[in-house]
Structure 1
Amino acid sequence: MYTLFVCMDSCPTDKLIFKNHCVSSCPNSDTAIYKRECVQCSQLGMYKDNQHCVNRCKVVQFKNRCFNTCPPDVKFAHNGSCIQICLLNASKVDEQQHDQGSLLLCTEKYPTNKFTFGNNCVSSCPQSKSLPLNGICTACHEVGKFDDGSKCVDKCRNLQHDFRCVDYCPYKFKIYNNSCVRNCPLVAPLLGLISNNYTHVSKQGCVANCPEGEFLEENKCVSWCFSRHFIYNNTCVEKCPTGAPFITDKKPNWYYIRNYDCLKQCKDTHYSLNFTCFEKCPHGFYGHKKQCIKKCPEDFPYINHGHTCVENCQTLHQGMNCYDTCPQGTYQFDETCVQNCPSSKPYNYNSKCVDVCPHFLIQNTCYEQCPYGLVGYQRKCLLKCPTEAKYRYNWECFVQCPNNTILNLQKYSCFDSCPNGKFKYQQLCYDQCPLQAPYYVKGECVDFCDGYLKGSKCLEHCPHFYDNNFNCIKECPKNSYPHGKFCKTDCPQSLPFTALFPSINNRCVEKCNNYELATENYKCILSSQCSGVIYDDTWCFQACPSQTYIKQTDGKNLCISLIPVYLMICILSLIVFINIAFGIKVWWHFYNPEQWLQRRDKSNETH
């Protein structure tokens, strides 16, 4: 195996020249292609751009090599070259974007379409200094404004913290005047819940006083005292002071913790017992003169339903107790409650003692209706109706069924209506109505239907059509037509003419045929059958209508309209008027005295 070198005048077109050798590609990174030779671009005063030598780089150059963006250790660009820092005569930095990347360009002054941020030119100000003021990116707080995330505003719509608009304060910060503060000021030293009008969530904030319904506990406004269970002057205290020794009980909260109000004295509606105020005295005690006592005094001996002592009962009483209604197991007798009615009023009716029972009586108890399984007769409850009153209606016995009720002869019962499929007639039920009352309305047979008939059923309104006998039908029969809902033999307005040769299903037509004429009573006849006059080739009349005249043609009397004659007369009259006016104008032109004298004077002057 050996290598053969051939001497040539020039390298092939697909080869490059390197040190008098033909090569496929340049052998090292320091060389590049120039005129099909591998050379060092710097020796020719040129720059290496990828694998070729160029006179000028497209973007920037560093150490005779072309770059799309400067390397990190020489990141600034000036006059097409990468440098470590910008020079004094070009100290401003403008960040420019191009297709292959970005450049930090050193310039003498900033472009007018960009903004200054520190020592850099930027197309848009960053969020930390979002306000472009006189071409300089400025923070909102530097001009006394607040940053809402997209722009500077004079006032935040919710809260502000460190000149930024926020929806919630950071941890351990409180709300004061729509600002987040770490410590409350002296003018609002208390902590309370403040409603957020934007988020509709209550958060802890600084307040001057606790709102109504809240209490002060250890510098905080609370809706319930948790550690100190007594409340005095809207403040949670460990015990009531001597100036307000009375306590009133509040209902427990969600944590089943009771609070007690400290009062100088109980409310007018409350009673006191051992310095405790009660709306109602405890069991075994009775309220009297704002105090709870064991026994009512002699001048107020009665006890009402509120466990208070009263002079007299306003309603009912049993012993020394007052009631609005008598307790269960007792009965009202005048103004007292008794366990047994006296002989003067021996009967119990609706828990009251009465002398007469107006309804049915069982063992001195009066019932408006006998209990289930019993029937009533002559104010007594019986197991069954007696023979003299054997008909039963609504659990009562009658000699005969009441009027307008129905008799069941098999069970001797009276009903208000017949079973389904039956018809009522003279207090009896029938499978179908009898001949003397053949119609039925609402299940009852009648001899006359004051409405419309659908078979034997009498209807107040007919849903479809009805005939001369007021029978409801779904459609009109042959040779009759609907006039509204009424089926009549007369032709309707939509088909007004009676056909000369009617069809099986229809004798009314919209118009007569071409060889037919319509008479004055809207019947179609043959043209030869017309014994009167013919009008408009459509009608056969006994006499011509107004504004027409008779003309005989081919043995027929035709009615001809006079309107064309009237029009012709008007036209001829107009022509005559125009001719007369024109003649008058010509005569006046030739026989006007003044013009005649002027023509004569001109003729004399000529001669």
Structure 2
Amino acid sequence: MCAKCNGPDPDDCEKCASSSFFLYNGECFGRCPQGSFDMSGDKYCQECDSTCKSCHSFKTCDECKDGLVKNSQGHCVSYKECDIHEYKDEHKGCLPCHRKCSRCAGASEHQCLSCKDSYYLLKCDSTCKSCHSFKTCDECKDGLVKNSQGHCVSYKECDIHEYKDEHKGCLPCHRKCSRCAGASEHQCLSCKDSYYLLNSTCVSKCPDGHYQEDEEKRCVPCHSTCKTCSGRRSSQCLSCKEEWYSLGHSCVQHCISGYYADNTTASCERCHRVCKECQGPDSNDCLACFDKFFLMKTKNQCYSSCPEYYFEDHAQKACERCHPTCRMCRGSGALSCTSCVSSYQLQGGICISECFAGEYKGTQGPDGECEKCHESCIECKGRGPLNCTVCPASFLLYVNDGRCVQCCHSKPEDSRECCDCSEIPEECKLITELLVDNDGHKKTALFVATSILVVLSIGAIIFFWRRARAKASTVIKGGYEKLPDQTKSFQSFKSNRESTSSFQRDHVIEYHDREEEEDDDDDDEDIVYMGQDGTVYRKFKYGLLEDDDDEDLEYDDESYSFR
């Protein structure tokens, strides 16, 4: 953008390449940034007076900074009715500033905001109420007294680097403080070298929102728009607060004409050279065009002359759509045609078809027959789906192809494209990302469903595997189990058995217990033995219960006899 420069950086310009740009602080802008103005129509921007937020000359403000108001002369003052060289007294109204002050906040010569010619504004030390040099106070701030060196201290008898303790006398300040009002590092009045005074604390580095004033060794607040800065002016920002954008070395909430807001860099970036306003860096990101150019809204591009099927709207500086029957026109509507599409005849600014609605003339001439339009068209100018002039409900005509495309709000499912019918109601702004998004959602849903099924399957496999292992590890031990006391029942049984002739003393007595159904075993019978002393034993199968293999199970066939 530079025609002449003194370095490689964007802010090293000395002259801009185009006569439509303005030079400000070494950079070329579409217009002078806020807080500056074009000095004499030579495309060089000069900073406004320090009281102005914006201006059109150095002394004439368009908008004042916070806390100031504009008077009848266009100057920003502390009270609207007062002249620029006056201040507002609560009881006496507007009173003149001190003779040395050009503008002021009060009657004293120490309340000057700017000075008259041959005078310079003197900055006092932070402890001084007034001074005649930076370090030598004429009057101290409340709570301080002036010592013999002219410095303001907390107690007159103490050294400049000491403070007065009621019980212990003069004590040294904190190691960070040069002068102080107490022992704490938060009671500093001024700081030692390599430290800066922030309120009443000495810090090695000023925090965000402040810059280092090396002469006074203090942290000074940045302009309200800056996050970090190199000075107090709005044009000295190094970075901006959230929701603000950097423009050169200034911060703005809304980018000026010729720039767009880049949210990734939080800065105002230059539009393409053909765009007056834009939403991005390319030539098809235009929102408004320069003089003698017209915006094609469906393409966001600027044209020097509008193409077929469009007319130049000089009021809106845009290419507007002709009626569908018009090839060329001078305005909107069916009565403004200057030439017609095929199959129509121009009569008094109106394009008339010789056929009924839904038909077109197949061959030109008086003997030409009318043929039916394609099913996608209500009216047409020729054969096939690419010659439509009027479309059905929920469809709009895409002029570039002459076809009807469904509106996005009707939620087409099978279409790879649709028209944004809400932005430009009478014209199709083609959207081609619809199917891609739908396919993306379908693929995502399919992936999620498949993942859930896989997880459930794995969970089921693990469950059955662990259950099988639990069965395999179960062991039935072999041996005998002593049953509860059977004495009474045995005595009754013995007397009954001995009374019969079939009883044999050495015969083995066996009892078969009732059958028990178990989940993991077949319906096997437990074998019960009775000893000679009347004790009853249950005999178990032993071995691993695995695969229901009875061949791995054994019985102890030993039996007992009564004696």
Could you say which TM-score interval applies, normalised by the shorter chain?
under 0.3
Greater RCO, CA 8 A, separation 6+: 2
Query: TM-score scaled to structure 1, two decimals?
Result: 0.25
Pair member with larger Rg: 1
Query: TM-score scaled to structure 2, two decimals?
Result: 0.26
